[in-house]
Amino acid sequence: MKSRRHRKTASPNGGGAAGDIGRVPAGTPAPKITASSGSFASTRADVAVCFALEGDKAPALRGVPAGSALIRTLSLLMRQERFRGKRKEVLLWHAAGRHPSARYAVVGLGARADLTLETIREGVGIATRRAVAVRARKAVFVLPPLTLPEGVEGLAEAATEGIALGSYRMSKYLTGEEQTPLSLKGAEILFGPDALKAAHRGVARGKIRALATNLVRDLVNEPALTLTPLRMAEVAREVAGQRGLEIKVLEKKELEKLGMGALLGVSAGSAQPPCLIHMIYRPTGVKGAIPKIALVGKGLTFDSGGLSIKTASSMETMKLDKAGASAVLGVMSALDRLKPAIEVHGIMGMTENMPSGSAIRPGDILRTMSGKTIEVLNTDAEGRLVLADALAYAQAQKVDRIIDLATLTGACMVALGPVVTGVFGNNQEMVEQFLTASSRAGEKMWQLPLYEEYSEQLRSDVADIKNTPTSRYGGAITAGLFLKSFVNGKTPWIHLDLAGPAYLESEQGYMRKGATGATVRTLLTYIEELAD
């Protein structure tokens, strides 16, 4: 991945061998989340959470009379604190025994006209983070009476995701009091009795999607010291065993037999052997032809830039460069429970990019699995080299469509900022379906073009293509065009550049600083809709 800009931070203390630190978790556990038809006014919790829209004088409490003592109290507090119900605004009050719950929180959802499932997910997630901050063990949520196209099931799913994503915390490497495990043990979402059946379905789906996302956050947050390419393969085998998936791991000798010179070239400078992980989900009990899709992830467990070495500050978070492959693994971990009627191939190209006497050099030429040759001008543009071979392998599986995902370019962050995924593709219908899925999943994505005029910048005098363009402008587009040249034009294909949203430099809504699991929920939504 080309360098992204970072603030300088102090180096962490400590050290030690990988064996001293412990195994990679299979997903940080979330609190137990349930749906019930209890009364908010009489519920007993450490934090009881309700919501207000912008301009409301009182919180919207289903089943609580307008003149009740609780509503009068919360309305008075809203006036006193000048709470306006703006999006992300939070009022937290300690009841001191005057009402059944220990604390009450009112969370603003913003204007009614702008209300979406993402607003609900965000509001619930922010409240969850506040509950965790005050070391609550139980939180109760009552959603406002809303009519959204997704119905009760969609509301319950979004709220569940907000709780599970908002409560995430990686603490395995902390010591002392900071190592204390998650205090929030239970979270209850209140619905009317007639809505409980749909709410239970939504909670179940929300748990699956959020836990898959949190697994990705664990993997991306894991240091390169412990999560090497072959250790990632072990985690994938564990997931496959638990979820009934097929898996094969191609190690160095098999990669050599397949002619994956680009992936092997990137790995040449590292002491850690590379591998390619191939997981397969096949639905059971489905008759007739079904779609086949490949998800192809870039898996750089660490990216130093190779001989085109990055600055020290730009390397500080380069464990994030495995976010694409981690997202593929997260998606695969959820499919056996969601059961879409579609065959999914999860393909992860895993390696490190390190400088050494055996590393590839600027000017070297690599021969890929497809036979096409690449002139390497910048060894820090390594992700596209790994994907070139992984895309060729994906096409050999005779799939109907391909989505690749990678923390690929700092240029995409310049274009779209740190919270938006860049979307490129060779099939507009597929791109539009995917963007619709991203909107439903609440993940920000934007299509960027693949103008063929820019391909001239990748023309090499000594090979079929070079890995970096002659101009620094339009870097995300030229990277997409490079990948497009390795895709059969008949196969619908999308490229996702998630260099920005894969890893946050500061807290955003229900996401903590660090790994986000970006694209997992969108990919799951797209796969289910494609199956339907």
Catalytic residue positions, numbered: 310, 384
Burial class (CB in 10 A: 0-12, 13-18, 19+), 335: buried
Choose the weakest-confidence range: 153-162, 163-172, 197-206, 496-505. Answer: 163-172
How far is residue 246's CA from residue 102's CA, in Å, rounded to a whole number?
49
Choose the weakest-confidence range: 59-68, 74-83, 183-192. Answer: 59-68
- Domain 32-212 sits in CATH at 3.40.220.10
Confidence at 294, pLDDT banded by 50, 70, 90: very high
- Locate 386 and state its tokens: 């790994």
* pLDDT of 424: 98
Residue 99 has what DSSP assignment?
S
What single string gives the DSSP state of each residue in 285-325? S--S---EEEEEEEEEEEE--TTSPPPHHHHTTGGGGGHHH
* pLDDT of 120: 96
Are the C-beta atoms of residues 297 and 327 closer than 8 Å to each other? Answer: yes
Spans of all domains in the chain: 32-212, 222-531
For residues 286-290, give the mean pLDDT. Answer: 88
Rg of the chain taking only CA atoms, in angstroms: 24
* Domain 32-212 and domain 222-531 have a common topology: no
Rounded to 5 degrees, φ, ψ at 256 are -65, -40
Taking every pair of Cα atoms in the chain, the longest distance, rounded to a whole number of angstroms, is: 80
pLDDT tens digits, one per residue of 378-413: 999 999 999 999 999 999 999 999 999 999 999 999
15 has pLDDT over 50: no
Average pLDDT taken over every residue of the chain: 93
Confidence at 185, pLDDT banded by 50, 70, 90: very high
* pLDDT of 8: 33
Torsion-angle region of 32 (φ positive above 0: left; ψ -120 to 50: alpha; else: beta): beta
pLDDT tens digits, one per residue of 225-283: 999 999 999 999 999 999 999 999 999 999 999 999 999 999 999 999 999 999 999 99
- Domain 222-531 sits in CATH at 3.40.630.10
Confidence at 179, pLDDT banded by 50, 70, 90: low
Strand ranges of the sheet holding 445-447, from the earlier edge strand across to the other edge: 246-250, 275-281, 343-353, 292-303, 401-406, 493-497, 421-425, 445-447
363 has pLDDT over 50: yes
pLDDT tens digits, one per residue of 144-173: 888 888 999 999 999 999 999 999 988 888
How far is residue 382's CA from residue 49's CA, in Å, rounded to a whole number?
47
Considering the chain, what percentage of its residues have pLDDT values greater than 90? 86
For residues 186-196, give the mean pLDDT. Answer: 95
DSSP strand pairing (292-303 vs 401-406): parallel
Are the C-beta atoms of residues 192 and 63 closer than 8 Å to each other? Answer: yes
How far is residue 68's CA from residue 59's CA, in Å, rounded to a whole number?
12
